[in-house]
């Protein structure tokens, strides 16, 4: 175990409290229940897990219950689609940072079937909490022209952009009450109405240079954000909207994506300079281990059965390239052992970055950031299909996704 380096940015907040809960738009069924609606007991997980397990976790008000405390992704298993989501056409939405557009891929034919302009510098395509809208986060690097472009999931077409300051990334609190716009250049988290995007309040993180990716605890009471250019993590109380503190990582110094483990309390942090994944205990906010993966460790995504995580190694320590890196690869880590069990090199070199897993779990989709392509990777064999897209693809989203609700980024669902 490494030495804890917990730096208090303010007095450590006690995670008390409960914001008044709002009834979720869709919790367990395909309709909009009231907050008092009974939990649907028809899911496989609910039948297989003792009733006490589902009630053991005291979540924040309004958050859908944790069905299996051993696996927060139990409801995001293959085939568990919201009936409304099941009506949406299967598509992969790819934001291209330098060409300022979104390419749309049909995963059946592996062909680009549409493209449309969005705002300046689209970074990610983010599913809303209720899984009925995608938002392209256009952070307009170096300007004040940031915006969010809504994309209709039924038609695949964009709507009118909503002006929003510096939206590098976006998340949703697990109770569905707030969108969290990650204003990276401002070192700030803006809590907004999840539909209108009107401001609710902000959390300043002045020491968190390059704040960008996040993951939530099992009960939704806190989130941990990575500070890309500060070599540290920031822990935030999502109920009281305040900074709890910082954790300086022991080595590396360029944390990227972060993923909550199935147990909801362990966090995995990809570090592009450390070439691997840090393990962090979220509750105590301590670094507890490290898993070497490959050069330029960047994105992390769980398998549909929550047994493995897929780790994209971008192949370089540089922020901007190079193209066709021979070190580009994907590592597969076993959650149970924290060991790398497979490594898939990118044929001819590449730059795997951000993405997600298909609804059935058979394909891992990743952007090839500096190669202007998308990789569709067979999760059984590692075989890859490579599809040309726009200039500098980044945080792509695969649709549809199983699960009851989205906490944001490229479609992390529960």
**pLDDT recorded at residue 156:** 98
User: What band does 141 get if pLDDT is binned at 50, 70 and 90?
Assistant: confident
Grouping H, G, I as helix, E, B as strand and the rest as coil, residue 316 is: coil
- Do 366 and 354 touch, CB atoms closer than 8 A? yes
Kindly indicate the confidence band of residue 153, based on its pLDDT and cuts at 50, 70 and 90: very high
pLDDT at 46 over 80: no
Q: For residues 323 and 283, is the Cβ–Cβ distance under 8 A?
A: no
Q: Is the domain 6-15+80-399 a CATH 2.60.120.380 member?
A: no
Start-to-end CA span in the chain (Å): 30
- List pLDDT tens digits, range 61-98: 999 999 999 999 999 999 999 999 999 999 999 999 99
Helix (H) or strand (E) holding 48: helix 44-48
In this predicted structure, what is the pLDDT of residue 59?
97
Q: For residue 320, count CB atoms less than 10 angstroms from its CB and return exposed for 0-12, middle for 13-18, buried for 19 or more.
A: exposed
pLDDT given at position 142: 76
User: d(Cα 16, Cα 24) in Å, to the nearest integer?
Assistant: 22
- The DSSP string of 20-69 is PP---S-SSSSS---TTPPPP--SHHHHHS-HHHHHSS-PPTTSPP-S-T
Count other C-beta atoms under 10 Å from residue 243's C-beta: 22
User: What digits encode the pLDDT tens for the residues 342-389?
Assistant: 999 999 999 999 999 999 999 999 999 999 999 999 999 999 999 999
Domain positions in the chain: 6-15+80-399
Question: pTM for the complete prediction?
Answer: 0.88
Q: pLDDT class for 56, splitting at 50, 70, 90? A: confident
Per-residue pLDDT tens digits for 342-351: 999 999 999 9
| 170/182 Cα distance (integer angstroms) | 6
- Residue with the bigger pLDDT between 16 and 168: it is 168
Does pLDDT of 28 surpass 50? no
Structure tokens at 121: 């510098």
Asked whether residue 325 carries a pLDDT value surpassing 80, the answer given is yes
Q: For residue 78, which of 400, 321, 334 has the smallest C-alpha distance?
A: 400
Residue 332 dihedral angles phi and psi, to the nearest 5°: -115, 120
């Amino acid at each position: 175990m490494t030495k804890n380096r917990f730096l208090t940015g303010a007095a450590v907040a006690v995670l008390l409290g409960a914001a008044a809960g709002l009834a979720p738009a869709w919790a367990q069924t395909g309709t909009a229940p009231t907050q008092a609606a009974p939990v649907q007991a028809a899911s496989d997980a609910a039948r297989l897990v003792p009733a006490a397990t589902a009630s053991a976790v005291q979540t924040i008000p309004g958050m859908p219950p944790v069905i299996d405390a051993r696996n927060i992704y139990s409801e995001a298993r293959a085939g568990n689609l919201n009936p409304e989501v099941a009506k949406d056409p299967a598509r992969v939405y790819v934001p291209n940072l330098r060409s300022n557009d979104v390419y749309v891929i049909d995963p059946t034919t592996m062909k680009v079937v549409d493209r449309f302009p969005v705002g300046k510098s689209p970074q990610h395509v983010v599913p809303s909490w209720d899984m009925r809208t995608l938002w392209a986060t256009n952070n307009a690097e170096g300007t004040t022209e940031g915006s969010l472009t809504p994309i209709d999931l039924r038609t695949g077409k964009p709507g009118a952009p909503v002006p929003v300051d510096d939206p590098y990334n976006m998340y949703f609190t697990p109770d569905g009450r707030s969108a969290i716009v990650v204003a990276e250049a401002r070192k700030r988290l803006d809590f907004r109405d999840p539909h209108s995007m009107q401001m609710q309040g902000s959390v300043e993180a002045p020491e968190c240079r390059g704040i960008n990716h996040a993951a939530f605890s099992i009960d939704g009471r806190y989130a941990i954000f990575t500070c890309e250019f500060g070599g540290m993590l920031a822990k935030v109380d999502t109920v009281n909207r305040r900074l709890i503190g910082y954790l300086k990582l022991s080595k590396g110094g360029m944390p990227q994506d972060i993923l909550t483990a199935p147990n909801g309390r362990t966090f995995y942090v990809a570090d592009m300079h450390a070439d691997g994944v840090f393990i962090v205990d979220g509750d105590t906010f301590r670094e507890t281990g490290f898993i070497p993966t490959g050069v330029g460790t960047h994105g992390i995504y769980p398998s549909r059965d929550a047994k493995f995580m897929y780790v994209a190694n971008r192949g370089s320590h540089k922020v901007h390239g190079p193209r066709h890196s021979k070190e580009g690869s994907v590592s597969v880590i076993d959650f149970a052992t924290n060991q790398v069990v497979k490594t898939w090199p990118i044929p001819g070199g590449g730059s795997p970055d951000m993405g997600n897993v298909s609804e059935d779990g058979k394909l891992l989709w990743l952007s090839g950031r500096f190669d202007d392509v998308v990789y569709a990777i067979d999760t059984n064999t590692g075989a890859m299909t490579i599809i040309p897209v726009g200039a500098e693809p980044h945080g792509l989203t695969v649709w549809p996704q199983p699960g009851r609700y989205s906490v944001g980024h490229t479609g992390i669902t529960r």
